Structure formats: structure tokens, C-alpha cells
């Protein structure tokens, strides 16, 4: 998006560089990514950097409101509530589409947000490998708040492991070694020393949880949670015998599962910002818009884009029997802002936060980007195209 840097990158790009880049990632992580990694990072100009940060600040202000928990009291499905919720999420992410405003300038538009970790370890690895194999100007940075690779992982260690020993902390997921994001689990283990454990491997004795490591049974004191609980709820009958996590357990959650629901599509109607498209709970919609084609319909509880309706009709609305569980959101028009050697592409930017218990507010630390040539970014579209996929952004400092 920074024209001079984009032009130079495209001109200098070679497929050999790209293959070496992927090999560098695989060598450090222990295996190649199971998902498509884009051939390019995203270069964010200063004006867009400033707008994204302003948008983030306005959204965080909503989350910091003293009545936030009261506002989101109905966000958590009753059957998915987990005891001992803490005061704030340890991780949260905010997703923006890159669009153009009426003046033609690049601007962010809020798509979604989650009180849940993203690929925190992998994104550092990817960004560093981009710098290793391609020419990325030193004036651009993938970190925020003065962090670098060393201080970034020190912060992750503080939040995820805390006062525990690494073997007393597990990264919990459903069938972690079958997940497309498993490279992040393996690199997290490499950097922090914590194992990825499947929910079926947990052992319960009273209120305590254990797992087997090198033939020894070790008590789990902290769970770095990567389980999406509504997804678990859908497939738990297929998992066979496993610990029921919706009970009182002597374990600390990082991040507590309830925050996945509190900070989610559920709060879109509460966010009033020029960078947030207007949204309503369907059952509170004052009047059905005449131009429904300019809206998207989103279920509150979904996974990987399932159930999102891009082209909404009156018939779609008539079919919904639980309108309280749906959001109607003004459609966002992505800009084909990334020039690639094979045509323009769209992108989303995910801003990644860490919230230590010692901090009064979440800290912006890193980012993730998705590049696509279709309007359904992040949803499986079959064989991926060139110059699309998962990526990261390098930001020009806001003026």
C-alpha cells in the first residue's frame, strides 16, 4: 500500500526467495505451515497506521467501560459458561478490512473482534523470515509499544507461564496435531517450553487436572486456551471420553473461555465509531432496511465464517427463528489496495493485544494480515491463488 515500497518489492520478488522464506519458517518451527502463506507482507502507510490505532483505541474504550460485563451478560451461552471468570481477557484481537473513504484514502473498517489468542508465536516467526529473505525497510515495524522479538516473547512468557514452571502450563486444543494452525503450537513450545495437549489427554482427579509428560503425571496449573468452546460443544460426542471443562477446576485459564463470547460479534452494536459499520441485534432492528443488499447477516455463534450471509434477502430474515442470536451489519466494501504482479488483492489486518494482570488496559503488540482476491477473506475457497494467504503487516510510523 506504500506505492514505492510495493513497487520495489514486486519488482525484486523471485520464487526462489519465496521458497527459501517458506523453508526458513519450516526449519525454525519444525514443519511447514499447513495453510497458504502469502508471497508478500502488507506495507501500511502512516496515515492508515494512525487510523487503525485510533479505531483500536475507540474499541478498547468500549471494553474498558465499567459496565462492560453487565452489557455482555447475555453474550455467553448458558451451556458454555465456565466458572471462575477473571476481570479481563489476557489476549484479544481486532480485525479490520482495508477500505477507501469518500476521499479515496485508505481507511480501516471493523469486521470482527475476539477475546481469544491468535497466532502469537507464528506471526513473529513469519515477520522475521520476511525480513531475512526480502528487503523490508527498517523504517517499517511489525511490533508496537516499543517491543522487539526478545521483549515480545518475554511478555508472552509473563502472561502465559507467569510464576509457574513451563511443564505446569499446557496449550489446550482439540486434536492439536490435526489443526491447520499447529505450526503456531509447535513454535510456541519451542519458544516457551509448553506442550500442546489435546482435551482427550487430560486426566482429572477431584478438581485437579493432569497430563502425562515423559512418563510422568504432571499437574496442570495454567491452561493457555486455544479451544473454541462452541466448536468443542458441537463435536464433543465424536471425541470419546474426555474431561468436562464446564465445571469447577483448580486451574487458571489464559484466556478464560467466557471472554471468547463477551468480546465478539456480540459487542458490534455497542461500538460507535467512524471505523465501525453500523450493526444491530436482529431482534432490536428498528426497521428492515430497504437496501438489504448492502448488509451482511452474522450469527453470534459460528466458527471460521460459517453461517455468514453476504447477500441478504428478506427471505433470509424470514427463515430466522432466533433473531436475538444474529447481527445485521452494514456491508464493508474492501478496497483492492494491494498491487501484486498478478492483479490487485484485498486484505484484512488483525491487531493483536496482550493484557497482563499488571496492566490497567490491553497492550497492542503485533499483527496478522490476510490477503485474498475474493470477498470472503479467511473462509476456505478451495485451491489458494498466488499472492494470497496468511501474512503480516509492516507499519510506517503514524505521523
**100-115 residue pLDDT tens:** 999 999 999 999 999 9
Enumerate residues 6+ apart whose C-beta is below 8 A from 202.
172, 209, 210, 211, 220, 242, 243
Confidence class for position 45, pLDDT limits 50, 70, 90: very high
Cβ atoms of 281 and 297 within 8 Å: the answer is no
Q: Residue 229: its pLDDT value, please? A: 82
Instruction: Tell me how far apart the alpha carbons of residues 175 and 183 are, in angstroms, rounded to a whole number.
Output: 13
Instruction: Tell me how far apart the alpha carbons of residues 343 and 223 are, in angstroms, rounded to a whole number.
Output: 43
pLDDT (tens digit per residue) in 156-212 = 999 999 999 999 999 999 999 999 999 999 999 999 999 999 999 999 999 999 999
Are residues 309 and 195 part of one domain?
Answer: no
Domain count, the chain: 2
- Mean pLDDT across 38-54: 98
Confidence class for position 311, pLDDT limits 50, 70, 90: confident
Are residues 308 and 267 part of one domain?
Answer: no
Are residues 235 and 261 part of one domain?
Answer: yes
Instruction: Tell me how far apart the alpha carbons of residues 298 and 282 are, in angstroms, rounded to a whole number.
Output: 10
Q: Residue 304: its pLDDT value, please? A: 47
- Residue ending a domain, among 331, 354, 372, is 331
Are residues 304 and 346 part of one domain?
Answer: no
pLDDT (tens digit per residue) in 117-134 = 999 999 999 999 999 999
Cβ atoms of 282 and 324 within 8 Å: the answer is yes
Range with the poorest average pLDDT among 72-86, 89-103, 346-360: 72-86
Are residues 299 and 206 part of one domain?
Answer: no
Confidence class for position 300, pLDDT limits 50, 70, 90: confident
Are residues 255 and 160 part of one domain?
Answer: yes
Are residues 151 and 66 part of one domain?
Answer: yes
Residue-number span of the structural domain to which 65 is assigned: 3-277+332-396
Q: Residue 303: its pLDDT value, please? A: 52
Enumerate residues 6+ apart whose C-beta is below 8 A from 358.
none
Are residues 149 and 221 part of one domain?
Answer: yes
Q: Residue 46: its pLDDT value, please? A: 97
Residue 330 phi, psi (nearest 5): -60, 135
Confidence class for position 377, pLDDT limits 50, 70, 90: low
| pLDDT > 90: percent of the chain | 86
Are residues 300 and 181 part of one domain?
Answer: no
- Residue ending a domain, among 297, 313, 331, is 331
Instruction: Tell me how far apart the alpha carbons of residues 265 and 157 are, in angstroms, rounded to a whole number.
Output: 29
Range with the poorest average pLDDT among 32-36, 205-209, 217-221, 240-244: 240-244
Are residues 172 and 98 part of one domain?
Answer: yes
pLDDT (tens digit per residue) in 243-278 = 999 999 999 999 999 999 999 999 999 999 999 999
Are residues 318 and 192 part of one domain?
Answer: no
Are residues 285 and 173 part of one domain?
Answer: no
Instruction: Tell me how far apart the alpha carbons of residues 259 and 268 are, in angstroms, rounded to a whole number.
Output: 15
| pLDDT > 70: percent of the chain | 96
Q: Residue 376: its pLDDT value, please? A: 62
Q: Residue 309: its pLDDT value, please? A: 87
pTM summary value: 0.95
- Mean pLDDT across 287-305: 83
- Mean pLDDT across 60-71: 97
C-alpha cell recorded at residue 285: 432492528
pLDDT (tens digit per residue) in 139-158 = 999 999 999 999 999 999 99
Report the relative pairing of strands 326-330 and 338-340 from DSSP bridges.
unpaired
Q: Residue 302: its pLDDT value, please? A: 67
Q: Residue 79: its pLDDT value, please? A: 84
Q: Residue 28: its pLDDT value, please? A: 97
Amino acid at each position: 500500500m506504500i506505492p514505492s515500497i510495493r513497487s520495489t518489492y514486486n519488482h525484486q520478488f523471485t520464487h526462489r526467495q519465496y521458497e527459501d522464506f517458506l523453508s526458513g519458517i519450516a526449519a525454525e518451527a519444525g514443519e511447514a505451515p499447513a495453510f497458504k502463506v502469502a508471497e508478500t507482507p502488507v506495507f501500511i502507510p502512516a496515515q492508515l497506521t494512525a487510523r487503525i490505532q485510533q479505531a483500536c483505541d475507540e474499541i478498547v474504550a468500549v471494553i474498558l467501560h465499567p459496565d462492560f460485563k453487565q452489557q455482555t451478560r447475555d453474550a455467553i451461552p448458558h451451556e458454555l459458561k465456565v466458572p471462575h471468570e477473571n476481570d479481563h481477557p489476557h489476549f484479544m484481537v481486532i480485525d479490520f478490512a482495508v477500505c477507501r473513504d469518500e476521499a479515496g484514502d485508505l481507511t480501516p473498517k471493523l469486521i470482527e473482534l475476539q477475546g481469544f489468542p491468535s497466532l502469537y508465536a507464528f506471526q513473529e516467526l513469519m515477520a522475521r523470515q520476511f525480513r531475512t529473505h526480502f528487503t523490508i525497510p527498517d523504517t517499517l515495524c511489525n511490533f508496537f509499544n516499543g517491543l522487539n522479538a526478545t521483549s515480545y516473547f518475554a511478555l508472552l512468557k509473563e502472561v502465559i507461564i507467569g510464576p509457574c514452571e513451563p511443564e505446569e502450563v499446557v496449550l489446550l486444543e482439540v486434536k492439536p496435531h490435526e489443526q491447520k494452525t499447529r505450526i503456531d503450537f509447535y513454535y510456541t513450545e519451542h519458544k516457551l517450553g509448553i506442550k500442546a495437549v489435546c482435551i482427550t489427554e487430560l486426566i482429572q482427579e477431584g478438581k485437579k487436572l493432569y497430563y502425562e509428560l515423559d512418563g510422568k503425571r504432571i499437574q496442570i496449573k495454567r491452561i493457555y486456551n486455544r479451544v473454541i468452546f462452541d466448536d468443542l460443544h458441537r463435536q464433543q460426542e465424536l471425541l470419546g471420553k474426555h474431561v468436562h471443562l464446564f465445571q469447577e477446576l483448580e486451574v487458571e485459564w489464559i484466556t478464560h473461555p467466557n471472554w471468547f463470547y463477551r468480546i465478539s460479534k456480540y459487542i458490534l452494536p455497542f461500538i460507535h465509531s467512524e471505523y465501525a459499520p453500523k450493526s444491530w441485534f436482529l431482534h432490536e432492528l428498528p426497521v428492515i432496511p430497504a437496501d438489504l443488499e448492502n448488509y451482511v447477516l452474522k450469527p453470534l455463534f459460528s466458527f471460521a465464517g460459517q453461517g455468514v450471509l453476504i447477500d441478504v434477502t428478506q427471505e433470509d430474515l424470514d427463515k430466522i427463528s432466533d433473531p436475538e442470536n444474529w447481527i445485521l451489519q452494514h456491508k464493508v466494501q474492501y478496497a483492492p489496495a494491494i498491487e501484486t504482479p498478478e492483479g490487485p488483492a484485498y486484505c484484512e489486518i488483525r491487531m493483536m493485544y496482550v493484557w497482563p494482570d499488571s496492566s490497567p488496559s490491553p497492550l497492542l503488540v503485533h499483527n496478522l494480515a490476510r490477503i485474498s482476491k475474493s470477498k470472503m477473506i479467511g473462509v476456505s475457497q478451495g485451491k489458494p491463488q498466488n499472492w494470497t494467504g496468511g501474512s503480516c503487516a509492516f507499519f510506517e510510523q503514524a505521523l
